[in-house]
Structure 1
Amino acid sequence: MKLTSYTDFGLRALIYLATLPEGELSSVAKVSAMYDVSRNHMVKVVNQLVKLGYLQSQRGKHGGIRLACAPATINIGQVIRGLEGNLDGIDCHAPTCHIVSVCLLKGALKQAMAAFLTVMDGYTLQDLLANRSELQQVFGAVIPTLSLEPDEQDC
């Protein structure tokens, strides 16, 4: 199972924002620079996380993004389901497959995906913060090197 970069960056954004002091705002520009990801790509990911209720965003001069709920209430399996476009494991129609009517692979992959999601359902964002101080050190080492344009700091 390989997650899309969209889901990967969504999980990374949640981890970063969860290491900030409660209620502290960050910016899409800062998160995208932290992971060396296109700002446009991260905007799409963050917008989806806002729609799903995991993040809050505030516009304006003093705006930004932050977690919308406690890390202990954010289930990683549910985040993956919300961000991942295709959880079937395979697309039997692109290109057209000639064995689709007799193939057992799709069922096996569906079962494997269900097992993967069951494991991920056992984790919350809080579980991924068990090494919070180490994460903060890594993020702290990266943040001072970021150079953000003034207009990029707003959400």
Structure 2
Amino acid sequence: MQLTQQTDYAFKTLIYAAVHSERLVNISEISHYYNISRSHLTKVIAKLTKYQYLISIRGNQGGLKLGTDPFKINLGQLIRDFEQFSIIECHSENNQCNISEQCRINHIMADALKSFLQVLDGYYLSDVITNPNLISMIKG
């Protein structure tokens, strides 16, 4: 299973905001730190604020901060919010497969996806940011 770049950027943005929870962060510094295109990151941040993972504060002293406690940001839910899971054609809305009625691969892939998400449902952003080495590396 491969997650999209958008989901990867969402993880990185939330990690950065969580590590810098004592202050507001901005798109430019996150983009610079991870060497991510600002325009790509802007789209990800718009989605993160839509789902209330981040709060955007406008104005001269504005910036971004986590919208909720890192202990409440579930990684499985974050992935569900960012990904469209069409692992194989018969999972998609545009299924054109002529054997999908008789084939069991759809059910097998659905079970695999369920297991994948079930594992991630057991983890939170707080589990990611507890490593002191990671914190010191991001804080510089």
Structure 2: where are the runs of 5+ without partners? Answer: none
**What is residue 67 of structure 1 aligned with on the other side?**
66
Report how many residues are paired.
138
Give the corresponding residue for 1:54: 53
> Do the aligned partners of 1:89 and 1:106 also contact (CA within 8 Å) in 2?
no
The 8 Å contact of residues 76 and 121 in structure 2, kept in 1 or not, is answered as yes
Cα distance in 2 for partners of 1:20, 1:117 equals 28
Counterpart amino acid of 1:70?
A: D
Q: Among residues 89, 96, 115, which one is paired with 2:87 in the alignment?
A: 89
CA deviation string 1:51-104 (max 9, x = no partner): 1011000122211111011100111111111111x1242233668434333332
Letter in 2 for 1:126: S
Partner amino acid, structure 2, of 1:107: H
Residue 105 of structure 1, CA deviation: 1.7
Which runs of structure 2 are paired with 1:96-135 in the superposition (5 Å)? 96-131=96-131, 133-135=132-134
What secondary structure sits across from 2:125 in the alignment? coil
Answer whether contact 2:9 2:44 (CA < 8 A) is retained.
yes
The TM-score normalised by the length of structure 1 is: 0.81
Matched residue, 2:38: 39
Separation in 2, partners of 1:88, 1:67: 29
TM-score, normalization by structure 2? 0.89
User: Aligned residues: percent identity?
Assistant: 38
Please give the per-residue CA displacement for 1:128-153, whole angstroms capped at 9, x wherever unaligned: 1120x212322244xxxxxxxxxxxx
Distance 1:42 1:128 in 2: 20
Q: Secondary structure at the match of 1:126?
A: helix
The one-letter code of the counterpart of 1:9 is Y
Q: Which residue of 1 aligns with 2:16?
A: 16
Q: Is the 8 A contact 1:75 1:125 kept in 2?
A: yes
In structure 2, how many angstroms separate the alpha carbons of the residues matched to 1:98 and 1:21? 52
CA contact (8 A) 1:88 1:113 kept: no
- Quote the Cα distance in structure 1 between the aligned partners of 2:54 and 2:21: 15
Q: Which has the higher contact order (CA 8 A, sep 6+)?
A: 1
